[in-house]
Structure 1
Amino acid sequence: MLTVLDLINHYLGYFTTNSKTKGRIYTVVGAGGVWYLLYLAYRFFVNGRWLRGALIAAVFLLLLYFVILNIIYYFTKHTSKWDVSPRIEKLLGGPHEEKSERESETVIMPANGLYSRQNVMSGTVVSDAQQQANLDTLALEMRQLDLIANDYGHLGEQAQRQIIAQQGVIYANHPGTLLPYFAMRENNGTLQIFGGINQLQARELGNVSMVGLTPTAQALTNYRLAIASVVLIGGPSHLATRSELVDDVQPYKIKIEIAYDHI
């Protein structure tokens, strides 16, 4: 059974599958293994091996309890007051231990300066085919380094639906992931956005077409501009139907904020 689960986990790694979908698959496979234990207990009882049969039957009942909890959790919107998993999680340290491990990893994040919100505006970025390929490569690198969250900002279904109603989609890394390195360069009246894991691996990600509501060429004549933030969004996401949230995969793109000062 463990071999089967390991094979499933291995092959699911080739696909973009969220934790709830994986949980449903594991629950179905695990349920089959649990009923096999009941068969083994029956065979021991038939052969007069009462002690071993009773032990296996006890293990069957324990695992059946957790299978039922998983079915409730992964296949319905209900909870059970008999769920002891939170107590077990607390006893074992829960997510706090995992968090401390991740916090022990040193991640150098960028510092592009602090700007007053009244002197910062959003920018519109347009990416051609090569720039989009660079963006996809950067997203892959960030995923491999575990820099991209995949928890929908810890939001419940109702909160996600509110964001989807406004934006049409919610990304798994909501509200976005700040790039480890980013820069903006002017080239013949064009503003180019660069980003990467670090400065040495920076790639061109797109061109700024608008600064706020002003075309870039006009903004360059009226303001001094500096890049304040570049945030990666896209990838695994949720769309809303009447009955549930459905998984989707959106193209990766960047949101930028540009600081300005009058010339």
Structure 2
Amino acid sequence: MFSFLDMINHYLGYFNINVTVKSRIYTVLGFLGNMYLFYISFRFLQNGYYDRGALILLVSIVLFYFLVCNFFYYFTKKQPWFDISPKLARALHLQPHEKEIQANSKMGNTTIQEPQNRRGNAANGIFDDAHVLPAKLDVSPIQQDNLNRLVAQMQQRQLFTADYDGMNDRKIYELLKINGGKPLYAIGKGVMMPYFEMRKEGSSLVVYCGLNQADVYPVGVIKRVGLQSIRSVDLSDLKLYLASVELFGGPYKEIGRSSVLEHQQDYTLRAAVAYKRV
């Protein structure tokens, strides 16, 4: 049985599986292995080997406890009241104490990630914030592929780094605790796209992005400006300009029971539109 579980664990390492999915698989396999341990302990007890049987039974109960905690976390995203793993982690110094977190915050050692090149890259000029509204984009699968290809080009040119600002998991854990457990993205709060423009194609306003004006891809269609649908905007009275397009999303980390867990997410875009009355 143990050879079988070890073989499964070995072969899972060959696949690029989401951390949560892999943890769920390990939890299910752990339950199977734990049932086998219970079976062995009962067999020892039935045959009169009380010392060995009791010892294996005790180990099985302890393992079963942690498996139940894992089941709650990985399958329900809830932490049961009887989970003692955070206390164990603090006792073993696997995570910072609360006082240490507060001290680091007061000393300025824990900083919120700032957007990369947001102010330094005014690709479409500078607009009055009073006349700039957020825009919601509708992205098709083809446009998402275009964005993914552009992100790969940007990473190849080292236009941004997706390394959590160089922080290790311990530092990230501190930051997540201070920020109320909000996810922390590897890319930070956002990266301004190198080049972007808006084209009117029929009745749609299509957003194009690229490394430069000569090589651009359609990456989304503007569906909403502020709280108003683009279909209800009277373009005869207003002139719209694409003020900014920022890249965000991608890999992120969040607090686990005693450490941080990384998850994968598609990169997305955040756009803003400036308006001027005609």
Query: Could you state the TM-score of these two structures normalised by the residue count of structure 1?
Result: 0.55
What do residues 92-147 of structure 1 show as CA deviations (whole Å, max 9, x unaligned)?
xxxxxxxxxxxxxxxx9553111111111111011111101000000111111111
**How many angstroms apart in 2 are the aligned matches of 1:225 and 1:259?**
6
Q: 2:94 corresponds to which residue?
A: 76
- Counterpart secondary structure, 2:231: helix
Between Structure 1 and Structure 2, how many residues are aligned?
164
**8 A contact 1:172–1:236 mirrored in 2:** yes
1:150-229 matched pairs, under 5 angstroms: 150-153=162-165, 156-161=172-177, 165=181, 169-221=183-235, 222-229=237-244
Kindly indicate whether structure 1 or structure 2 has the higher relative contact order, using CA contacts under 8 Å at least 6 residues apart. Answer: 2
Q: 2:158 corresponds to which residue?
A: 146
Q: 1:230 corresponds to which residue?
A: 245
**Residue 219 of structure 1 aligns to which amino acid in structure 2?**
V
**8 A contact 2:95–2:259 mirrored in 1:** no
1:45-56 matched pairs, under 5 angstroms: none
**How many angstroms apart in 1 are the aligned matches of 2:193 and 2:179?**
23
Q: 2:139 corresponds to which residue?
A: 127
| Greater Cα offset, 220-229 or 251-260 | 220-229
| Aligned match for 2:124, one of 112, 123, 142 | 112
Q: 1:229 to 1:15 in 2, by over 3 A?
A: farther
**8 A contact 1:150–1:172 mirrored in 2:** yes
CA RMSD of aligned residues (A): 3.1
- Counterpart secondary structure, 1:250: coil
Task: Give unmatched runs, 5+ long, in structure 1.
Answer: 1-13, 17-74, 80-107
More helix by share: 1
Q: 1:249 to 1:225 in 2, by over 3 A?
A: same
Q: 1:207 to 1:163 in 2, by over 3 A?
A: farther
Query: Could you state the TM-score of these two structures normalised by the residue count of structure 2?
Result: 0.52
Q: 1:208 to 1:157 in 2, by over 3 A?
A: same
Task: Give unmatched runs, 5+ long, in structure 2.
Answer: 1-14, 18-92, 98-119
For residue 165 of structure 1, report the CA deviation from its aligned partner: 4.7
**How many angstroms apart in 2 are the aligned matches of 1:121 and 1:165?**
28
**How many angstroms apart in 1 are the aligned matches of 2:178 and 2:233?**
34
